[in-house]
Structure 1
Amino acid sequence: MATVRNLKIKTSTCKRIVKELRSYEKEVEKEAAKTADMKEKGADPYDLKQQENVLAESRMMVPDCHKRLEAALADLKGTLAELKEANQQGMEMQEADSVITEVEALFQTAEE
């Protein structure tokens, strides 16, 4: 049985994963710039290899975050649908709707 408390938890989970995703995307940009700078300056091959490994690890986290966000979004939608069927109303419902809209927009932007 879906409850308002569960809805709050699932809404917060989606928000947290979106925040994580943005953080990882920024990290990838920063590490890519650092790697390019090291290549440009002719850094030691060992250091360059280590930096490329750091960049690869950062890049791997983005798809993982996307998968977790998709699962969390599906879970949130399911809980919201159950509460709407039970004719529940409140600020939590509106917040969940806005988070769903935000996450779906994020996915559309990523597909383009």
Structure 2
Amino acid sequence: MLERLLPVLLLTGSNVFMTFAWYGHLRYRHVALPLVILTSWGIAFFEYCLMVPANRMGAAVYSAPQLKGMQEVITLLVFACFSALYLGQPLKWNHWAGFALIVAAAWLIFLD
């Protein structure tokens, strides 16, 4: 059970860091771009510290395509929360519909 759950938890944590690295600076558009890039790299380091072990451990119970599909769904969920709560930009119906199609694609990856 833990071998199936731990990769999901690590992927979730890594996606929180990734989302802040990629989109967190949008609240600080006045900050110089070189500083934003360096800050994003620093945040991304922690993303990799979780993502690499998640994939390494996850490969013992999931295929690489399953890990990637799972990561995409987690990314969408983390981003939806981030967009609404941190950026103040809640998703609209069409965003949710598009995300639902990606979730459906990930679900197909898990079928035997």
TM-score between both structures, scaled by the size of structure 2: 0.46
Which of structures 1 and 2 has the larger relative contact order (alpha carbons within 8 angstroms, sep 6+)?
1
Bigger CA radius of gyration: 1
Between Structure 1 and Structure 2, which shows a larger proportion of helix residues?
1
TM-score between both structures, scaled by the size of structure 1: 0.46
